[in-house]
A and B are shown apart, each in its own frame.
Chain A
Amino acid sequence: MTFTKPWIAFPQDPDTKVPVLDVFLRTREGQKTREFFVVDSGADVSMATRSLCDVLGLRWDAGTEVELRGIVPREECRLMARLHPVEIYVRDADRRFTIPICFADSDDAPLLLGREGFFDAFGIYFDKKNLLTRFDW
C-alpha cells in the first residue's frame, strides 16, 4: 500500500518546499486536531510544542525528561522537553498508531515527525525532483 503527499512551500521562495504530512491527534475533550508535521528523517524522534501537549490533555511534567540542544552548544540554546507516547491517526493510510513525541518547553517549536516510531510504521521515500513524499506500508 502506498500514498504520496506533495511538499508545502516555504514563504521566501516558490521553489523551496518541505515534506509535510497532516496528522490527527486526539484532544483532551475527545475531539481531534489536524496538524501539519514536517517529515524529518534527520530527527531521532518526533517533536511538538508544549501547547499541543496541553491540548492533548497530557501532563507535560509526567513525560520522560529530554534535553534538546542546538547546533551551537551554548547554554542559552538548551531547551527542556518531555517525551510522551501519543496516538496519531494518518488519514491517507487510514492507520492509527502510537509514536513517541518530544514536547519542547516552547509554544513555537516546529512540529516534526522523526524516525523513532514513525519511520518504523512507514517506508518513506523523498522524491525531491517531483517534490513529493511517498509513504509505503
Chain B
Amino acid sequence: MTPAEKPLDQPRHITPEEEADYRSGDATVEWLLRQPGSFFRPYAGKWIAARDCQIVAVADNHRALMAQIEPADWPRTLIHRVERPGRVIYR
C-alpha cells in the first residue's frame, strides 16, 4: 500500500440530527446481533432492512431492498444480507 492509499483518518463532523439517527440505529444493531439463527431462517438468502428493532423490508437483492426504503430513513435503517444455509467461503 502506498502512502496515498493508506486509510485517511479524519475528525468527525456529526450534527445533533445525525447523532439522533445513529443512536436510534445503535439499538437496532444490538437487537439484530442478539437474534438466534432461527430468527434469520425465514430470510435465508434474502436482504433485510431493520429499523426501530423490527424488520421493515425484505428483498432478493440489495437494489430491490433499497427501493423499498425512503432515503430519509436510510441513516436509521440497518441493511443486512442473510446468508443461505451451509458453510460459506467467500472467494
**A interface residues (Cβ-Cβ under 8 A, vs B):** 5-16, 18, 20, 22, 24, 27, 29, 31-36, 38, 40, 42-43, 47, 49-52, 54-55, 69-71, 85, 87, 89, 91, 94-100, 107-108, 110-112, 116-118, 120-121
The docked-state distance in angstroms from the alpha carbon of A35 to that of B69 is 13
8 extra interface residue pairs, beta carbon distance < 8 Å, beyond A8-B33, A10-B85, A11-B82: A11-B85, A33-B74, A50-B63, A51-B62, A91-B22, A91-B26, A95-B9, A108-B62
Residues of B within 8 A of A50 (CB): 63
Residue of A nearest to B73 (CB): A31
**B interface residues (Cβ-Cβ under 8 A, vs A):** 1, 5-10, 12, 18, 21-22, 25-26, 29, 32-41, 43-44, 47, 60-64, 66, 71-72, 74-86, 88-91
What are 18 A-B contacts with C-beta separation under 8 Å?
A9-B36, A12-B37, A15-B37, A31-B74, A32-B74, A33-B74, A34-B25, A34-B78, A35-B79, A51-B61, A89-B12, A95-B9, A97-B9, A99-B7, A100-B5, A112-B90, A118-B7, A120-B1
